[in-house]
Structure 1
Amino acid sequence: MNASEAAVNASVPRGFNGSERCPRDARMAQLVFPAAYTALFLAGILLNSLALWVFLHIPSSSTFIVYLKNTLVADLLMALTLPFKILSDARLGPWQLRAFVCRFSAIVFYEAMYAAIILLGLIAFDRCLKILRPFGKFFVQKPAFARAVSALTWTFLVALSLPNVILTDREAMPATVRKCAALKGPRGLAWHQLVNDVSQAIFWTVLALMLLFYAVIARKVYESYRRSRSRDSRSQKKVEGKVFVVVAVFFVCFAPYHFARIPYTHSQTHGAAADCRLQDRLYLAKESTLFLAATNICMDPLIYIFLCRKFTDRLPCWKRRRPAVPGPENHSTQTDNMTLS
């Protein structure tokens, strides 16, 4: 071992995510997860390519459409980074590929993931306003505002992520690329920790706001249901329930990862004191929930289908069934306008 390798190894705690003291299960890391990500990549590319084709034919005439288009961009970025992760984890490429993953593609993946998280929060906010003020024209309900806040989101995340790229600056060698942290110096590790803290803050802030928004939405939906005089309110319930697909996607995809990340990060920073079996379980929990977070690229199209009428009207061979409006006694029309755009 030369001096540079010794310095790198000294900077990484023993037992830190795949170190020599606590080796990982190669079957899961090199076979199961790459196979699962391959299936996810193929499905994600197919669904998001179709969504891209549809959105290219839809003008950005509302805040909702603007947020959905930016969500599509985030999903496409996440999907395009997956082949590098698959080949790297399966050990099917040269060791230089692992260095590329550490320095670029993994950083882009996380940047896109947190863009998707923020955009889901903005979509929830937009749906809440649509229900509170279905015909309102506040400045936050104008497409120009949505474009500005989306641009600020991307600018903030790029500014947060770029130093991670720059500070992953140690010489890449076959022995050092096995752990991305080994490619970072002290400043790089400090910035990486800052990014982790900011990322957690983003998730928990969006989670709290989303719970608030959907508490308001649930109350309005319940009040609408009680006021309804329709003999058959089944179609109305269906329309009202669709608005909750956003919070369902958010919780299914992102909540498990951020819950699992807390004990996993603790085990990393206290690696020497943690039991190897515990570390392995936390690693598998983190990787499994990270895969669940990546499935967001296939779950977001559900939002497009359930909540965006313009999207489904453009889908090839999609026959949309609209509820009939027989007369003034039907009260589901306003709810339909509130939840579908």
Structure 2
Amino acid sequence: MLETVNTTGMQGFNKSERCPRDTRMTQLLFPVLYTVVFFTGILLNTLALWVFIHIPSNSTFIIYLKNTLVADLIMTLMLPFKILSDSRLAPWQLRGFVCTFSSVVFYETMYVGIMMLGLIAFDRFLKIIVPFRKTFVKKTAFAKIVSISIWLLMFLISLPNMILNKEATASTVKKCASLKSPLGLLWHQVVSHTCQFIFWTVFILMLLFYTVIAKKVYDSYRKFKSRDSKHKRLEAKVFIVMAVFFVCFAPFHFVRVPYTHSQTTNKTDCRLENQLFLAKESTLFLATTNICMDPLIYIILCKKFTRKVPCMRWRTKTAASSDEHHSSQTDNITLS
């Protein structure tokens, strides 16, 4: 699953021999960049884990944030295998492990994270639009059930990609699709389409949520005629989730559509195919940087989180003292 390639059987493999990939960038530059992301991600997410251990799961918002953190941590731990495999510094057996396990887990947790960001946006939408209405979707039981369901769904979808494979050899591990059985190739294609559906569904829903939120923020801004820095910070808080989601994941999914098409047809020019491969790898790296961007969401949106971070406690106390004079309408927009 590390590479969405050759899902049309032997026809695709003949094509790959006719159009070999230029892997100089992916073998030299990207392993270095991924190494930087790995160490940064380990540092930030380990700190976030320590903080969240000390925060009770007494709100839907905290539950979604904790699940996002778990997904990011697992993604981070899968990166060393990709780095060693792409740089060709490890034996071919590791490449087989990457194709059949670590890359599958990597993508599985990436889409868990995508859905969690969607749930965070939905939670913020409810808090701002219907702040005082008690509904089941605002209860922690709902958040736990939905979170467990998402993890179970992605596990069941991903499991066949770990099982439906042939025995790895030095020649077959050069491309992950070469390891897959005919049923495995078919299932891989189904999973690719399912993941595309998940992303675009979450993306469209988030656009709808934030369109409504933007109108609410604008109406509140006009009503109170405020021009102070507090309102500017509130606007940034409201839209940080959408910004992180769009910057990290949208480019990869925009590129993945023509890239997947180039891999399932013989009509794509060889030069264009290599350009799409490089574009896919570049945007996949951008998607991976999400593991370093999500801690920004915790810091900006979650007051409980910032109160537990030693170097930020003084800023939280200063902000709290300056916020006391704001109206209840403003408090509806302020995030947890």
- Tell me the TM-score normalized by structure 2: 0.93
2: CA distance between counterparts of 1:13 and 1:190? 15
2:245 alignment counterpart: 250
- Residue 71 of structure 2 is aligned to residue 81 of structure 1: no
What does 1:90-105 correspond to in 2, within 5 Å?
A: 90-105=87-102
Counterpart residue type for residue 248 of structure 1: A
Displacement of 1:31 in angstroms is 0.6
Number of residue-to-residue matches in the alignment: 325
Contact in 2 for aligned 1:239/1:336 (Cα 8 Å): no
2:285 alignment counterpart: 291
- Structure 2 unaligned blocks of 5 or more: 1-7
- Residue 64 of structure 2 is aligned to residue 70 of structure 1: no
Displacement of 1:171 in angstroms is 1.6
Counterpart residue type for residue 315 of structure 1: V
What does 1:141-152 correspond to in 2, within 5 Å?
A: 141-152=138-149
Encode CA deviations 1:183-234: one digit per residue, 9 max, x unaligned.
Answer: 111100110010011101001100110011001100110111011155x532
Sequence identity percentage: 63
1:226 corresponds to which of 213, 222, 225: 222
- Tell me the TM-score normalized by structure 1: 0.92
Displacement of 1:39 in angstroms is 0.5
2:197 alignment counterpart: 201
Counterpart residue type for residue 250 of structure 1: F
1: CA distance between counterparts of 2:82 and 2:331? 42
Encode CA deviations 1:115-139: one digit per residue, 9 max, x unaligned.
Answer: 0110010000000000012233211
Displacement of 1:240 in angstroms is 2.9
1:240 alignment counterpart: 235
2:24 alignment counterpart: 27
Encode CA deviations 1:66-125: one digit per residue, 9 max, x unaligned.
Answer: 000000001001100000000000011110000000000000000000001100100000
Counterpart residue type for residue 255 of structure 1: A
2: CA distance between counterparts of 1:115 and 1:95? 29
1:3 alignment counterpart: none
- Residue 186 of structure 2 is aligned to residue 180 of structure 1: no
Displacement of 1:29 in angstroms is 1.7
2: CA distance between counterparts of 1:317 and 1:266? 48
2:38 corresponds to which of 36, 41, 44: 41
Structure with the larger helix share: 2
Encode CA deviations 1:287-329: one digit per residue, 9 max, x unaligned.
Answer: 00000000000010111011000000000121223152565xx
Counterpart residue type for residue 240 of structure 1: E
1:266 alignment counterpart: 261
Encode CA deviations 1:223-269: one digit per residue, 9 max, x unaligned.
Answer: 11011155x53212212321100000000000000000011001000
1: CA distance between counterparts of 2:334 and 2:230? 13
2: CA distance between counterparts of 1:334 and 1:144? 28
Contact in 1 for aligned 2:217/2:333 (Cα 8 Å): no
Encode CA deviations 1:147-189: one digit per residue, 9 max, x unaligned.
Answer: 1100000010001000111112x12110000011111111001
Counterpart residue type for residue 278 of structure 1: L
What does 1:45-56 correspond to in 2, within 5 Å?
A: 45-56=42-53
- Residue 164 of structure 2 is aligned to residue 167 of structure 1: yes
2: CA distance between counterparts of 1:309 and 1:81? 30
Q: 1:55 to 1:22 in 2, by over 3 A?
A: same
Contact in 2 for aligned 1:74/1:115 (Cα 8 Å): yes
1: CA distance between counterparts of 2:24 and 2:249? 25
Moved over 6 A (4+): none
Contact in 2 for aligned 1:70/1:150 (Cα 8 Å): yes
Contact in 2 for aligned 1:128/1:214 (Cα 8 Å): yes
Contact in 2 for aligned 1:177/1:183 (Cα 8 Å): yes
Counterpart residue type for residue 273 of structure 1: K
Counterpart residue type for residue 13 of structure 1: F
2: CA distance between counterparts of 1:105 and 1:165? 9
Contact in 2 for aligned 1:130/1:339 (Cα 8 Å): no
What does 1:313-324 correspond to in 2, within 5 Å?
A: 313-318=307-312, 319=314, 320=316, 321-322=318-319, 324=322
Contact in 2 for aligned 1:107/1:161 (Cα 8 Å): yes
Contact in 2 for aligned 1:240/1:339 (Cα 8 Å): no
